[in-house]
Amino acid sequence: MNKKGIIYGINGPVIYLKGNTGLRMSEMVHVGEEHLVGEVISLSKKATTVQVFEETTGLKPGAEVVGTGDAISVTLGPGILNNIFDGIERPLSEIAARSGKYITRGVSVDSLDTSKKWNVHVTVSEGDHVTGGTVIAETQETASILHRSMVPPDVEGTVIKAAPDGAYTIVDPIVTLELADGTAKELSLCQKWPIRVPRPTKRRFPASRPLITGQRILDTMFPIAKGGTAAVPGGFGTGKTMTQHQIAKWSDADIIIYIGCGERGNEMTQVLEEFGELVDPKTGHPLMNRTALIANTSNMPVAAREASIYTGLTLAEYYRDMGYDVAIMADSTSRWAEALRELSGRLEEMPAEEGFPAYLASRLSAFYERAGMMENLNGTEGSVSIIGALSPQGGDFSEPVTMNTKRFVRCFWGLDKSLAYARHFPAIHWLTSYSEYLNDLAPWYQTHVNKNFIDLRNQIMALLNTESSLMEIVKQNLENMSQIQRHTENMLAAGTAEPTDVDQIRITVGQLKNSLLAMQRTVDVNYNLLRLQLGLQAGTPITLADQLDNFLEVGNFLKLAGQEFDINQNAQYKLMETQEELQKKMVGLKKWAYSPTISANYGYTYKILKPSLDFSPKHSATITMSIPIFSGLQRKAQLDQEKITLEQTTLNKSLLADQLNLQEEQYKFALKNALEDYNLQSENIQVARKVLENYQYKYNAGAVSSLDLTQANNNYLTAENNYTSACLTLLQAQTQLEKL
């Protein structure tokens, strides 16, 4: 018998039931006469708290709440793809057919079409022992995807009845099992699973293969692994939704689950229109044939917004269990976190930073931890990759949702407003973005792209980070000198400064402006050269990720300087060894010229008109041996020449070994010198910065002249340049030694 309770309090989507109702935590309930869908979120001896996934307008105390006995679950079976659902898996097309363009409260529709018949191929036979995950039937769900109906993860038994191949609905019994306790259980094409419980797997694989997104900047600079996690933060208008659309369209994922969580309705409309028109380049069929949409827009109930994330996750895990690679586009997790904040406020929980609940981090962790490359219960391999958009207010990446998300994702694709307004899409900023999958994916890139891919990428990053560093130095000095110029002009107007001081500063500012323009032109030229090397068209945007300091680990340089040189791994030395072996074989070949030559012939004669007296033999055989006696010393000369060449090759090999050993010592010496210079310049720049700050303070107090301040600023600029040069010299010394 279903448990019941009576409402005594209502606070928006949160309702309170008095007394011990007997309901269970996370149990699905029906609220009021309209049977609104809700979920138990809190229990105590005195009260039960329920969140309602629909509008509670008009609901009164005294209304009845009836438990269903089951947790909030979704129906898993054929018909999920090429469909659009709300946050609790109600098909919006079916709701529209019943109630019009607006969702009627309490509307009850089947998650999947229970009347449609599917052509089913049953894959098990009577007597087969099946366990959780075993495929029992196959159905061509769409032209692109073969649906594999499986035994629920918590079911195990022996097949006692299997239906023949044919047309069945998703609720028709397909297989009957005898369980361990002797009871019979009928299985159909569909099953139910609670959305907040991850579907079980055998084991998790480490990241090893990239999810090819189809976006060059992501696949080259900030790759994500299949089964990986990524966040796309950005302010309004920076292109979060557009970036996710592009990944959904062109990635090599088998199936796309697009979750519109709290976003504007027009954006979901755009997804429907575009995905319905696009042709999947892999299959040639419409893109919607491998896509499912979860639409919980900003004007829908806030509690359903919180559930929509888990609904999409469960659908993705279901297709992962079939052996597919699934990519989830969650747009946006910030709106989901806002739903948590609103519900937490309704529950009168103690707020944390910016009003978000204290359990925000744990909820984000539980969400992203459900991603991964897995070995399923049926032995197949599948993956769930999660790409979540973030909408920090004002583009502030230091707000709680973004900062907590960075703790649990390994890809961070930060979008920049200035790049977006310059029509640079995707507007991914290289200073704020990163990928922690590079080391994991390096073997794949070396095998399938180029063995030097990672090294070349890192070199590009180092060079362009250096460019950025120098540019920032010049800009900062220009800004400082401009401020000094304005201050000195004010002092001149007040009669406390000389005109020559202003003129000197104006000259310095003009020089800095010219230096900045020249550097920008140099950067443009270098970018064009880089595009040429990468095979890109002129004007193609390029951005970089890593900072220069990330490549300057002192411990790595010391380890490299202390490594013993293995000459046998040097390419030049290997080539010389190969030449020596070939020359030895040539000497052996010339020695064979002194050896005798033996030849043999065999003949058989058959006569059609044979005379009466015929003494000629039918069989004949001859053996000839040729012994070289004298060739005018030609053979000896050729042999001597090959021996001389062999001796020369051996000598060259020895000389090369000496040269390489000497080079190794020189390169190690250069590396140590470069490291010492780097340490020195690092200290010098700190001192120069302190001196400049001290002189700026004294200048503002009138203790030093503008000339002294200008000199201090120039010294700091020189220290910055010396530091950057030391960094480049150190990286070049490292490259020389590694190439050896």
> pLDDT of 13-33, one tens digit each?
999 998 888 899 999 999 999
Q: DSSP characters for 271-294? A: HHHHHHHPBPTTTSSBGGGGEEEE
pLDDT band of 358, cuts 50, 70, 90? very high
More confident residue, 553 or 588: 588
Cβ within 8 Å of residue 723, ≥6 positions away: 678, 681, 682, 684, 685
Average pLDDT over residues 279-285: 81
pLDDT band of 483, cuts 50, 70, 90? low
More confident residue, 485 or 25: 25
**What average pLDDT does the structure give for the chain?**
83
Average pLDDT over residues 147-173: 95
Check whether 199 has a pLDDT greater than 60.
Answer: yes
pLDDT score of 468: 66
Average pLDDT over residues 347-355: 90
Check whether 558 has a pLDDT greater than 60.
Answer: yes
Q: Report the alpha-carbon distance of residue 236 to residue 395 in Å, rounded.
A: 7
pLDDT score of 450: 87
Quote the DSSP letter at residue 613: S
Residue entry with tokens 């480049």 = 728
Of residues 338, 279, 271, 345, the one with CA closest to residue 309 = 338
pLDDT score of 471: 63
pLDDT band of 517, cuts 50, 70, 90? low
Q: Report the alpha-carbon distance of residue 448 to residue 439 in Å, rounded.
A: 15
pLDDT band of 329, cuts 50, 70, 90? very high
pLDDT band of 489, cuts 50, 70, 90? low
Residue 134, Cβ density class (10 Å: 0-12 exposed, 13-18 middle, ≥19 buried): buried
Residue 74, Cα to own-chain centre: how many angstroms? 28
More confident residue, 672 or 337: 337
Average pLDDT over residues 449-466: 78
Token pair of 105, please?
């409260």
Check whether 545 has a pLDDT greater than 60.
Answer: no
Least confident of 547-551, 582-586, 630-634: 547-551
Check whether 370 has a pLDDT greater than 70.
Answer: yes
Instruction: Decide: 388 and 332 in contact? Cβ < 8 Å.
Output: yes
pLDDT band of 100, cuts 50, 70, 90? confident
**Residues belonging to the chain:** 740
* Highest mean pLDDT: which range of 12-26, 498-512, 678-692: 12-26
Instruction: Decide: 230 and 386 in contact? Cβ < 8 Å.
Output: yes
Residue 11, Cα to own-chain centre: how many angstroms? 41
More confident residue, 549 or 683: 683
pLDDT band of 543, cuts 50, 70, 90? low
Q: Helix, strand, coil proportions of the chain in percent (round to 5)?
A: 45, 20, 35
Token pair of 681, please?
């310049």
- The β-bridge relationship of strands 83-85 and 619-626 is unpaired
Q: Report the alpha-carbon distance of residue 127 to residue 139 in Å, rounded.
A: 22
Q: Where are the beta strands (DSSP E) in 570-699?
A: 597-604, 619-626
Please report, rounded to a whole number, the percentage of residues in the chain having pLDDT higher than 90: 39
Check whether 707 has a pLDDT greater than 80.
Answer: no
More confident residue, 697 or 107: 107
Check whether 634 has a pLDDT greater than 60.
Answer: yes
> pLDDT of 645-679, one tens digit each?
888 888 888 888 888 788 888 878 887 888 888 88
Quote the DSSP letter at residue 353: G
Average pLDDT over residues 84-97: 87
pLDDT band of 113, cuts 50, 70, 90? very high
pLDDT score of 414: 92
Check whether 546 has a pLDDT greater than 60.
Answer: no
Least confident of 419-428, 613-622, 656-665: 613-622
Instruction: Decide: 440 and 455 in contact? Cβ < 8 Å.
Output: no
Token pair of 388, please?
């979540």
pLDDT score of 533: 56
- 622, β-bridge pairs: 601
Instruction: Decide: 576 and 660 in contact? Cβ < 8 Å.
Output: no
Distance set, CA 706 to CA 500, 504, 709 (Å): 10, 9, 5
Check whether 596 has a pLDDT greater than 80.
Answer: no
Residue 287 CA neighbour count, 13 Å, CB half: 24
Of residues 565, 470, 476, 569, the one with CA closest to residue 520 = 470
Q: DSSP characters for 67-126? A: EEEEESEEEESTT-SSEEE-TTS-BHHHHHHHH-SSPPTT----SS-SS--EEEEE---T
- In degrees to the nearest 10, what's the CA dihedral of 702, 703, 705, 706? -60
Check whether 314 has a pLDDT greater than 80.
Answer: yes
pLDDT band of 275, cuts 50, 70, 90? confident
More confident residue, 718 or 483: 718
pLDDT score of 167: 95
Q: At residue 188, what is the residue type?
A: S
Q: At residue 435, what is the residue type?
A: S
pLDDT score of 689: 82
More confident residue, 705 or 653: 653
Q: Residue 41: what are its φ and ψ, rounded to 5°?
A: -120, -10
pLDDT score of 474: 62
Distance set, CA 325 to CA 44, 105, 150, 342 (Å): 42, 36, 17, 34
Least confident of 98-102, 109-113, 153-157: 98-102
State pTM to two decimals: 0.67
Compute the C-alpha angle 104/107/112, nearest 5°. Answer: 125
Check whether 491 has a pLDDT greater than 70.
Answer: no
3 state DSSP class of 665: helix
Average pLDDT over residues 695-722: 74
